[in-house]
Amino acid sequence: VLQGLQDSESDEILIVNTRTSKRAVAGELFCAEASRRGLPGIIIDGPMRDTNFLSNYPKVRCFSRSVTPYSGTTSHLGKLQVTVECGGVMVEPNSSIIVADDDGIIVGSLETFEQLEQLAREIQSAEERIRIAIADGKTIHEMTNFEAHVEAIQNGTPS
């Protein structure tokens, strides 16, 4: 992981698969160095530590599968600029687009994101209409297919 950090360039996102390690491969110092190098984010399919510091450190967004207080050790060098499986998704160096926030991480190609853009806008618009209606006193059940959904589940049909 340290080699990946050393070889990283500004505006790259470092993605690490810890291969089931239970020890943190990044924390406060690692992310401070990532910030100094100009990296906007780090994604770890495994644990990280020092999350209190990292949650208040906006220069580098850090995401991990889990948290542990135990610092990691280096037992082998790993590979750089290769396809990495992260959270069950294959991430391609220099071609995958990554969008991440507090709700999760989405990885895809430019073509995938272009295909999903209209659907995402429609969902956002529908949710905004529902939020406004709830603020005006309507129930969420009135504005969704709740009853049809319940009926389908009770009948054993997909909903």
Kindly report whether the global pTM for this prediction surpasses the value 0.85: no
- ∠4-14-45 over CA atoms, to 5°? 105
Q: What is the pLDDT of residues 48-73, one digit of tens each?
A: 999 888 887 778 899 999 999 998 87
pLDDT tops 90 at residue 47: yes
Q: State how far Cα 12 lies from the chain centre.
A: 15
List, as one string, the DSSP characters of 131-154: HHHHHTT--HHHHS-HHHHHHHHH
